[in-house]
Structure 1
C-alpha cells in the first residue's frame, strides 16, 4: 500500500508546497484513489506516476477551496485525455453543485459519467476489490470527514495438511479455495474456502483525516489502524494567538492524541503557509515536528510534496523518497 502527497499546504500554496491532495494505491498505480483535490492537483500529478485514466474514485473531506478548487479542471482534463470509464466522487453534496456549475458555465463537457455519492449519507460505505472505505465525522467550521481505508481480499494460504487429511488431493480445487471460492466436488461435498485456508496477516488500515480541531474524535477509528495522516496547521503558540475560530489542530494536540491512541505511525500535513522549509527560514516547518515529538514516541513523519510512503505487509511504514540532507 502506497500513498503520495500532492500538496501539504493549508489554505494557500507556497513556493514549495501545493494545497491538499493525496494519491493512494494498493499494489501499484492501477487503480489509484485521490483524497482531496486542491487547486493545481492535476499539475502535481504530471510529476507523479499516477494517470487520470486509472483513477478509480475521489474522496473529498470537506468543501473548502484548498481541498476542492482543483476538481473541475482535473475532471475536464481527464475527459480531454479520452477517459470514458465512470468515476465515483464521494463528497459533500455541495461539491456536485460546484462541479456542475463550472462545467455548465465554461462551455465544458465530460465524456464519461460521474457518480456522486453523498459523504454525509448515514452508514456510508464504499468498496472495491482493494479497499473498503468508511468515514469519521470531524470538527471543523464546515462538515468534514476522515476517510478510513481498510485493505480487502487479502491473500490466503492453503491448509494443505487438512486438505490431504480430508482426502482432497492437489488440483484445480486447491486454486479455487485459495482464491476464496467455495468448491463443489464430484462426490457431492462442498468445500468452504474459510475451512481450508487462513489469512496470515492483518488487513492494513490507514486514516486520512480532513481539517479537524479535535483529534479525539478519531479514537475508535485509530484502534487497529496502522497510519494516521492528520493536519498540524500550527504550533501551539501560534494556535493560541489565533484563537479557536479556524478550527485546526496544533502539532502538540495531534502528537499527544497519537501517543494516547498508541498509533505506530503518524504523518503530519496541512501546514500553514507561514512555516518555511528552506535553510534559515523562520518560523521553520521543523518546529512542528519538534513539538509533536515532545508528545509522541511512535514513528513520526513530516509530509512534503511528492513524498511517497509505503505501508508494508509487515505493517512497517517507510518514506521512499530520497532527498539530499537539509532539503
Structure 2
C-alpha cells in the first residue's frame, strides 16, 4: 500500500521530467538550424578580365647568328652590355673561310688567263666560237665564286645593327656552332615602343582580341599605364607552355625608367561578352582547376551543395560560367558551417 502511494506521488514528477527532456531536445534541434544570408541569382553578360604578368620588351628584339658554321673565335660582349650601331660583337675563326677565298682568287686568275688566251686564239681563228664562249663562261663563274667567298668572309663577324644592349649571350669562345645557331639576343633601345610580353591559357587566349584594352602596373613604376593588345601568338610557346600576348603601351610611358626584362602585371579587359553569374568571393568553398563548390537553397529551409565552373576571379567577385542554371538563391553567409542538407534560417 505504501509502494502504491509512493508511485502515485512520483508519477507527476516523472511526467514533468519527460516533458522537460522533450523540450530540451526540440530546442537542440532549433539550435542546429544555421542562420544564413541569401543572394538572388540572375545571369547577365559581362566582359571578362584576364589578370596576368610578364616582362617588358620592344618590337626590335632580335636573335643574331653566323651565316656559316665554325669555331667561335671570340665574343666581345656579355649580358647587360650596352652596344652601339656597327660595334663588333663576335667573330668566327676565319681560317677555313680564308682558304676558300684564296682558292676562289686562284681560280679567277686562272680563268682570266684562259679567257685571254682563248680570245686571242679565236681572233686568229685557231679555236672555235664555242671554245671561246666556254672560256668566257668559266671566267664569269670564277668571278662569282670569288664574290661569294668574300661575302662569307664578311659573315665571320657579327656587328650591331642598331644601338641597344645584350639580353642574352648564348655561346662561349671556342665553341663550335652550326649555321644559324643563336649567338646573342639583342634589344634596341630608345623611343616609346615598349611592350609587355605576357602568357595566358588557351581559354583566356580565345577570349582576347586584338585591340582589347589593358592596364599595366609594376612595383617599380608608381602609376598604371594604359595599353592595348598588339599581337597574339598563333601557337603555344614551347619553352613556357602558354600562349603569348603582346601588350603595347599606348601613352604615359615617356620618361619612365623601363628596362627589358622588367617584371610587370596586367589586367586585360576583353570585349567578348560572356553569359554567367557574378557571385561574392566569400560564397566559394574549396575548389581547384576552374571548379568550385557553393551552397544554394530552393525553399529557404535546406542548404544544397553544388559544383560550379569558375571562369574568372575579379577582385572580390567570381565569374561563374556554369552550374547555377537551376538555382534560385545563393547562400553568401554561413557557408562554412553548412553541410549538404543542413537546415537553415534566412536572416537579413
Q: TM-score, normalised by structure 1?
A: 0.19
Larger Rg: 2
- Which of 1 and 2 has higher RCO (CA within 8 Å, sep 6+)? 2
Q: Write 1 or 2 for the structure with the bigger share of strand.
A: 2
Q: TM-score, normalised by structure 2?
A: 0.19
